[in-house]
Amino acid sequence: MQVSDMLTPEQLNTLYAIAKKYNVDPNIILAIGWHETHWGRLGDGRLGMFTGYGSYDNGSDYGYSGFEKQVTGTAKKMSAWGMKPGSASYAKLQAGQAGQLPTGIYATSSTWASSVWNIYKSIGGTGGAGGAADEVTIVESVPKNQTALDKAKALYLSLTGQKTNSPWYLKAWNKGSQNKYNESNQELDAEGNVKDDLGGIIGYLTMGVLILLVVGIGLTSFFKAFAVSPPAIPDIKSIKSVTDG
């Protein structure tokens, strides 16, 4: 994969300028955008959510849509994770995804960090593996006035093997941040919409038939109850002879 295959020269210039502004390795932003939506070619990316920033499990905040907004949001998050040019690392991606860095996780997928890192290296990323634990600044504290919900989340972290009760992670856990949409989800949504439409049409037809049956039964019962014969259908020949006379 070549960087030039991902974006237009104008888009690349914009991305590089934003990455420079926030002192972030531009290749990590490029890798995230490719992983999330192939830079607008898949899923929610077609609606302007290029890097999946602002896309969550329970929906998307399209106030973040647009190329510059998406790149800026991702750049700020990667800046908070310390992904500077020359010092981006897999360890930082993992720590960020574990909720150990400011601003919370980026995605809920367990393979997000490894996928992004592999793309990063494939496009010429020069960061290191970064296995040292002291390479990142880990937030270990929780709010003093911890609510019952926060305690429940802390217990969840403990039971799932997380080593930190980061308030950043708790916030992200509550928000459920993750790029929900991809190509398969979009296809499933479309299929579901078709089924819903067909179900609605069948429902209306069924209701119409039932109404006709009820009306027919009601009229038949009425005629029988009052010994009223249904109105006779006029004979066309009789009508014609009367008019001719």
- Tokens, residue 198: 């067909």
Number of structural domains (the chain) is 2
- Residue 112 · residue 106 · CB < 8 Å: yes
Eight-class DSSP state of 45: G
**CB-based burial, 71-96: b 16+ in 10 Å, e otherwise:** bbbbbbbbbbbbbbbeebbbbbbbbb
Average pLDDT score over residue span 196-216? 74
Number of alpha carbons in the 13 Å side-chain half-sphere of residue 229: 3
Is there a single domain that holds both residue 44 and residue 143?
yes
Is there a single domain that holds both residue 30 and residue 49?
yes
pLDDT tens string 87-138: 999 999 999 999 999 999 999 888 999 999 999 999 988 776 544 333 333 3
Q: Which of 147, 181, 215 marks a domain boundary?
A: 181
Query: For the whole model, what pTM was predicted?
Result: 0.55
Is there a single domain that holds both residue 160 and residue 198?
no
Interatomic CA distance for residues 51 and 11, integer angstroms: 13
- Per-residue pLDDT at 238 exceeds 90: no
Is there a single domain that holds both residue 190 and residue 169?
no
Mean pLDDT of the chain: 75
**The pLDDT value given to residue 205:** 76
**The pLDDT value given to residue 57:** 79
Is there a single domain that holds both residue 101 and residue 28?
yes
Q: Higher pLDDT residue, 204 or 112?
A: 112
pLDDT tens string 133-169: 333 333 333 333 445 555 555 555 555 554 444 444 4
CA 244 vs CA 202, 236, 241: distances in Å:
49, 12, 5
pLDDT tens string 29-72: 999 999 999 999 999 999 999 999 998 878 889 999 999 999 99
Amino acid at 86: G
Closest CA to 75 of 151, 1, 111, 24: 24
Q: Assign 3-state DSSP to the chain and report helix, strand, coil percentages, each to 5.
A: 60, 5, 40
Is there a single domain that holds both residue 133 and residue 166?
yes
**The pLDDT value given to residue 106:** 94
**CB-based burial, 106-143: b 16+ in 10 Å, e otherwise:** bbbeeebbebbbebbeebebebeebeeeeebeebeebe
Q: Higher pLDDT residue, 73 or 201?
A: 73
Dihedral of alpha carbons 199, 200, 202, 207, sign: positive
**The pLDDT value given to residue 166:** 43
Interatomic CA distance for residues 51 and 7, integer angstroms: 12
Q: Higher pLDDT residue, 20 or 210?
A: 20
Q: Higher pLDDT residue, 216 or 146?
A: 216
Confidence of residue 2 (pLDDT cuts 50, 70, 90): confident
Instruction: For residue 221, give its domain range.
Output: 185-244
